Chains A and B, each alone.
Chain A
Amino acid sequence: MLVVNNVSKNYGDFTALKNINLEFGSGVYGLLAPNGAGKTTLIKMLVTLISPSKGEILYNGTDITSLDEEYREVLGFLPQQFGYYKHYSPKSYLMYLAALKGIEKKVAQEKITELLDKVALSDVANKKMRKFSGGMIQRVGIAQALLNDPKIVILDEPTAGLDPKERARFRQLLTELSRDRLIIISTHIVSDIESIANEMVMIKNQELLYKDSVENICNTLDGAVYETTITNDELASFRANHVLLSEKQEQSKMLVRFVHKGESKEDWTVKNPHLEDVFLYEYRDDLSLGV
């Protein structure tokens, strides 16, 4: 469906992305990377906001730039931060975007009612957005991304500002949508997509690290994730010698989860690796590992 072919992006001397090759079919893809890894650059290229310095992005075999509006017609995009007019209601705001998306007025009206219902904003459909909470605004954003019944949905940090209940609902909505659609969700919150993504894309140091199923990615650390308890005094030296994934206070001791490749010790228990573990392990230099 969507193919990223040898794509690089440079800003002067600075390289934002290097030789990315990706292939997306339908399903949910999670784009996982810490901030600054080139995630937003990739997304902005997928939605035509910036163009690659090298390489090409193809949709059904044709370059998306030459497809022009044909491509954007099937695209739904929710930027990380997006603007809205404070004095507009969700309805008038969505009507405006529907016009930009080339949706007929009548069709748009029906679709908007349906979507506002879906994101639970029906009762404020005609209220000005001035007083909306962050979560409500974000839900308006999700609604606008789905307005044109897109074949490709690209969501940049869609769960930001949503409360846990809203997140659960959002995941449900995605699963519902994912049939015969391509959904790409960028996030740095692993738990948001772990359960629903068919495949994960991970970028590290401006290059592609993994593009695989959650299971396969987790397998890369198979047998290397351990848990053990140590005393608080040992913690410092333990930290220096191992890649810690998490620390938890347990009675007067510390329960630590860590990665170790090679010989294990007796009081260590092997654990099944989670996506979170891979994330923390791979990006250990980019993230300051705290509690």
Chain B
Amino acid sequence: MRIVLQELKKILNWKIGLLLVLANAILYFLLISYHIEHFPNGRPALDSYRIGIEMVEKYGVSMSEGEKADFKETYEQRLKDADEYIQSRVDFSSVGIHSYQDFQDINYENQEQAELRNKVVFEENVDLFWELQERERLIEFQNENDIIMANEMERGSSQQVATLEEIKATGNYYIYPELVFYNYKDFIVNVAIAIIVSVVLLLSPVFIRDRSLRLVDLQYTTRVGRNIFKRKMIAGLLAMFMVITALLAIYFSIYSLNNTGMFFSSPINSFIGGFHWYDITFFQYIVLTVLAIYFLGFVFALLAMIFSNLMPNFVALVGIQIPFIIAMIGPGISYLIYQITALDLSQWLVPSGYVLIIVIGSMFMLFVWRRERTLDIVH
């Protein structure tokens, strides 16, 4: 344990700390800040967010037929408000718009009408019009979710259809605005990238550093001997765990600024925009992605340490990891995080993807350890 602590101290030194802070600052501004600072991103995203909250507060995490009717009634009510608002403004009537219906049917060739519409919607940002637009979209999805389901079932494999049947039975799908859910997905994918890069930066020096400093001769002839390899690995994994936890804590406290807690108990299938294999809540989904990030971190920690042991110099160490990181940031993360529950993919794909990379990584590590155990330390 003392050795592990000593090794841990060596890994978590201030130089690497500085590098991690710098890397995460850059990656934050490059990838993550957008999903925090621009949430909700303009209109009608803001309205979508507001209506979503209203729905959850009023109807809970699923909507009965009565509640759907109530939602439509609210829309009608707001429609009347809009009519009244339009009628109360002279500039509307002067261009021949007397109701919200007229307003929607605006003839864009009619310069005056088009200009007024632009002015009211984009310059004055009248909430009502944005809100109505979003409510219409939601009601449309609510009305048509059975058609979407039917289409999906027609395309699906038997397994997918079985899951879809279950979702259908709940009736709670394509109902709630998807803004918060997709914002989280975008956020977490980029957090995953930042974390993977951090883990690689953190652990790449683990073995190569002592080797290039010629400490191996001394280390391997002490009592612990070559077993120090395992201690370093444990220290590396501990460091990885600590860094990931710290980064997640930081990023999630930033995420909390998005204020999405009210959706935590909503089932992910209730959101518009896709079906999922698992009947879990948004919060459970968050937990799932966090676990997934730990697993990815574990795999990249193994890879970094493996190559740290095998590569002759830092250039080769960085070079060999580039293809892996690109492959992960590119297609890898899309499957392993973004579509982690997606019904479009075969159900076995994502879990076996994880099993595969973890098994390959561990076996590779085992191979490196076996090699190290009997390796002649010549230089």
Contacts and interface: CB of A to CB of B under 8 A. Distances in A.
Asked if chains A and B are in direct contact (CB within 8 A), the reply is: yes
B312 to A, nearest CB: 16
B220 interface: yes
A50 B376 contact: yes
A48 B218 CA distance: 11
Given A44-B377, A49-B376, A99-B6, A81 B223 contact: no
Given A50-B377, A51-B376, A100 B222 contact: yes
Contacts of A180: none
A102 interface: yes
Interface in B194-246: 210, 213-225, 227-228
Interface string B1-24: 011001000100000000000000
Interface in A41-72: 44, 47-51, 68-69, 72
Contact of B223 (A72, A82, A95, A144): A72
Contact-residue bracket for chain A: 20 to 34
A101 interface: yes
Nearest to A80: B217
Nearest to A79: B217
Given A51-B374, A51-B376, A105-B2, A82 B221 contact: no
B378 interface: yes
Nearest to B211: A83
Given A50-B376, A99-B2, A99-B3, A77 B218 contact: yes
A96 interface: yes
Contact of A148 (B213, B215, B217, B223): B223
B214 A100 contact: no
Given A44-B377, A99-B2, A105-B2, A49 B217 contact: yes
Contacts of A68: 225
Contact of B220 (A11, A48, A99): A48
Contact of B218 (A73, A83, A102, A105): A83
Contacts of A72: 221-225
B6 A77 contact: no
Interface string A81-102: 1111100000000011101111
A48 B215 contact: no
Contacts of B214: 79, 81-83
A75 interface: yes
30 contacts: A47-B221, A49-B220, A49-B376, A51-B376, A69-B227, A72-B221, A72-B222, A72-B223, A72-B224, A73-B223, A75-B221, A77-B217, A77-B218, A79-B217, A79-B218, A81-B214, A82-B214, A83-B213, A83-B214, A83-B215, A99-B2, A100-B218, A100-B223, A100-B224, A100-B228, A101-B223, A102-B224, A105-B2, A144-B218, A148-B223
Interface of A: 11, 44, 47-51, 68-69, 72-73, 75, 77, 79, 81-85, 95-97, 99-102, 105, 144, 148
Interface of B: 2-3, 6, 10, 210, 213-225, 227-228, 374, 376-378
